[in-house]
Chain A
């Protein structure tokens, strides 16, 4: 996984580079959009961490050019400008995620890992979460390489939950995502499916948490957990 950091603050760029290398990414760092353009020509970049307030061409302008050329690298936008209008603007221009400065380094690595995972899943048609692997193409799931038996609907729910790993997903959303147009799945039925999924996943330390009143969220995987 190759990451390109486009950030003009040397100390921050250096810190980000070291942090991401520590996480196992291959990282290059440049300090302007013009240099980033040159870097893209010589190496195959999967993910760009892009600061908006750059000297010369600003991050938004370069992002627009990138997308208008049809380039498909994942882009995580960093900005020191105030959040929301920038966020909307950035996502509209084709950024995949957005992080306002200052941020906690673990938040940044989590976002980068999520984008990387998504990119991998897009290419390999595989979702990985700890020991769990979901094969999107073959509609199969494995824990530590061993297949687990899931009815079709439970597999669909599993896919949906783990495709939206950082989000709370509501029962209605699950229902509308996994049901075909002529069926109706009740909230109770979803609860039953979830509790069966839990029974199969929890022995290996993968947790699906209930957020009462809203839905479910997959707890982040951490090796420290049993």
Chain B
């Protein structure tokens, strides 16, 4: 997966690490050279110091060095110091015979090289001199303990700042990248928080300059989507409207036909019932359209009371229920809400219709205040809804298995849409008596 964050981090961190490592290596090499030449200077001095003490006596070269002078010359806190003086033939005049002669012939100037002595690394300095016309070579050498210590110190003092600096830079880059990508995250959160019907354009004002073109394109797309969606919603609503008059005509004509049909009435009766179902379906599609914020973007939002809304519809419910031999009772206490009384009335009507339609004998409609919420409750003594179906009955065209009563499967979808639009929750339970269903809509 291509990640903008990983890309940014790679482009910033890799060069940063290369530069840090190069700087550390450079500093180390520079310090190492300075240290080596400083120690070499001392070592060269030892070699040079020996020259005046070489004498020619009785035709032989000797080193005239007192024990005290020898001790001073070899004095060093950490390293061993060795020296050797050889004549032109390579014979040892004085000093440590194990010390090898220089790899190349030194001149008047001191030359330095690395060597080993008894298996240990040493640093050696060599020079040539002429004593009474006879050439001699002087070699001084020392073990490399202090050089190694100094080199380790140099390594540390070169690496530590570079490492610290790199570490700090890495932290800064990681935090910086995260911060820098913050506006993207904000935009993501804003889009994520939206519901599927919220097609308002994204606020461009607080968006960073780099994201503006993207947001602008997004807004244009949202606008096109909104247009397409409302065209579709208008089409559905218009289609349902257009259906109303012909359906009313068919129902009326079939009703007349049934009255005149005498004994042959069953087919006409069935046709009439089908037309009545069609009528109800068209009505409910329209209710659904009215509940849908896309096709009905303006709804009222005003203080109203669930008890009053129930009272305005109670007559119609009682009349409709009595044709199905269902008793409807009421237990109404004030339950103020903020919302559209028309849509909430539609919600309640569908709940009661649903409760009276599927085999209940008795339905109780209640409203009350509970804590900070207002409750609308419809309880019936019908066959009940199995727990596995309780979340799915609010889907459009969902009908319970084995259900023989004709229904559109839209009533509870309307309830759900209107509740959602009012920020209300819908719960389905067993009725308190154990027989039947209780549906509770709770408004904040």
**Using a CB–CB distance below 8 Å, which chain A residues touch chain B?**
9, 11-12, 14-16, 18-19, 22, 53, 78, 80-84, 100-106, 108, 166-168, 209, 211-214, 217, 219-220
Contact = CB atoms under 8 A, between A and B. Distances in A.
Interface string B239-253: 001101111111111
Contacts of A18: 256
Interface residues of B, number: 35
Interface of B: 237, 241-242, 244-253, 255-256, 259, 276, 279, 282-283, 286, 290, 311, 314-315, 318-319, 322, 328-332, 342, 365
Contacts of A209: 318, 322
Nearest to A12: B249
Given A82-B237, A104-B276, A217-B319, 15 more contacts: A9-B248, A11-B246, A12-B245, A12-B248, A12-B252, A14-B253, A15-B256, A53-B245, A82-B290, A102-B245, A102-B279, A102-B282, A104-B279, A105-B251, A213-B329
B330 A166 contact: no
Given A168-B314, A211-B318, A103 B248 contact: yes
Given A11-B246, A102-B247, A217-B318, A211 B330 contact: yes
15 contacts: A9-B245, A15-B252, A15-B256, A19-B252, A19-B255, A80-B242, A80-B244, A84-B342, A102-B279, A103-B279, A105-B256, A209-B318, A211-B329, A213-B331, A214-B332
Contact of A19 (B246, B256, B329): B256
A11 B329 CA distance: 40
B187 to A, nearest CB: 38
Contact of A80 (B245, B251, B290, B314): B245
B375 to A, nearest CB: 15
Given A102-B282, A105-B255, A214-B330, A168 B315 contact: yes
B329 A212 contact: yes
A105 B245 CA distance: 13
Closest 9 CB pairs of A and B: A213-B330, A15-B252, A12-B249, A102-B279, A212-B329, A102-B248, A80-B244, A11-B249, A101-B244
A174 to B, nearest CB: 15
Contact of B286 (A9, A11, A82): A82
Contacts of A78: 248
Nearest to A103: B248
Contact of B245 (A14, A101, A217): A101
Given A15-B253, A105-B252, A214-B330, A167 B315 contact: yes
Contact of A9 (B246, B276, B329): B246
Contact of A101 (B247, B256, B276, B332): B247
B273 to A, nearest CB: 11
Contacts of B249: 9, 11-12, 15
B315 A217 contact: yes
A219 B322 contact: yes
A80 B241 contact: yes
A79 to B, nearest CB: 9
A101 B282 CA distance: 10
A157 B67 CA distance: 145
B318 A166 contact: no
Contacts of A212: 329-330
Contacts of A220: 319
A102 B247 CA distance: 6
A40 to B, nearest CB: 24
A80 B248 CA distance: 10
> Which of B245, B246, B311, B322 has most chain A Cβ within 10 Å?
B245
Nearest to B290: A82
Contacts of A100: 244, 283
A103 B245 CA distance: 9
